[in-house]
Amino acid sequence: MTADAHSTRAVIAMIVAVAAFSLMDAGLKSLAGYYPPFQVAALRGAASLPLVLAWALATVGARSLLRVRWSLHLLRGVLGVAMMASFVYALRTLPLSTAYSIFFIAPLLITALSVPLLRERVGPRRWTAIGIGLAGVLVVLRPTGQGVLTLAGLAVLLAALAYAISAITVRLLARTDSTESMMVWAMTMIALGAGALALPDWVPIRAADGWIILAVGVAGALGQYAITEAFRVGKASLIAPIEYTALLWGVILDATLWGVLPDSVTWLGAGIIVASGLYLLRRERIHAEAEHP
């Protein structure tokens, strides 16, 4: 396969991943109105686990799933539970587009955290981009006005932070463990961990929600596979910007399912965050080309 074919395949896979995750999030938002956050997180993990496990067993076998670095997988499981429960809690009151706008700070947090955790060097230009991105989050949250500086807005920030730390652990795990094992154990630990925390307040599942839970599982598994494939065959600098198209999906789903649209301030903040993220990706690509000419 040529380089152009690889790039095309990666772009298509990333578009599919973003669409699948957006539809999954719409399902989570629908469930969040009836079930506690930990229960919704547990249902998300449990619904995707059979599909992810079947794929993993068919591709790498059981042995690859058991020979792993358990301490890092456990940490990632804890982070996964925190991320899912926080994000679901936020979706109970925030529109998808607003939640996505705040969550877009995650790539900037990953870069910032790579300094103390991975000993990577981040120059002044990239630190400036991170600072501008944080300012964009403040614009969306509007802490001094009638904005969304609420527990829901802060919950999205917590979810973004958990996601960023989890992404760092993935970089460490990728040196020794298979992608399949990371996916299987992430879903397993989210299902079991969030399920255990949800038990005291467990709400009986309504039969009418069965199809939503099934759709969440399928969309989550498809999204996970597609994003893994995208990063496997394509360059991060090419496909990572496509993740920002989630905002368009959020706007479409908000308008179609809930009849809401982001206001001008949210658009402004989202634009600042996206612009700083794109600049950061450009700087990282320049650094990568300089290191590997």
Please, which contacts does 76-79 make with residues 24 or more away whose CB atoms are closer than 8 Å? 76/166, 76/169, 76/170, 76/173, 76/182, 76/185, 76/186, 76/189, 77/185, 77/186, 77/188, 77/189, 77/190, 77/193, 78/189, 78/193, 79/162, 79/163, 79/165, 79/166, 79/169
pLDDT averaged over every residue in the chain: 89
**pLDDT value for 291:** 57
**pLDDT value for 250:** 96
Question: Which pTM value belongs to this model?
Answer: 0.89
**pLDDT value for 51:** 95
How far is the C-alpha of 156 from the C-alpha of 163, rounded, in Å?
A: 10
pLDDT band with cut points at 50, 70 and 90 for residue 149: low
Contacts of 2 (CB under 8 A, 6+ apart): none
Q: What is the mean pLDDT of residues 13-30?
A: 95
* CB contact at 8 A, 15 and 164: no
User: What are 222-263's pLDDT values in tens digits?
Assistant: 998 898 888 777 776 678 788 899 999 999 999 999 999 998
**pLDDT value for 274:** 92
Domain spans, the chain: 3-201+210-291
User: What are 67-114's pLDDT values in tens digits?
Assistant: 889 999 999 999 999 999 999 999 999 999 999 999 999 888 888 888
Task: Taking the CA atoms of 20, 21, 23 and 24 in sequence, report the sign of the dihedral they define.
Answer: positive
pLDDT reading at 292 higher than 60: no
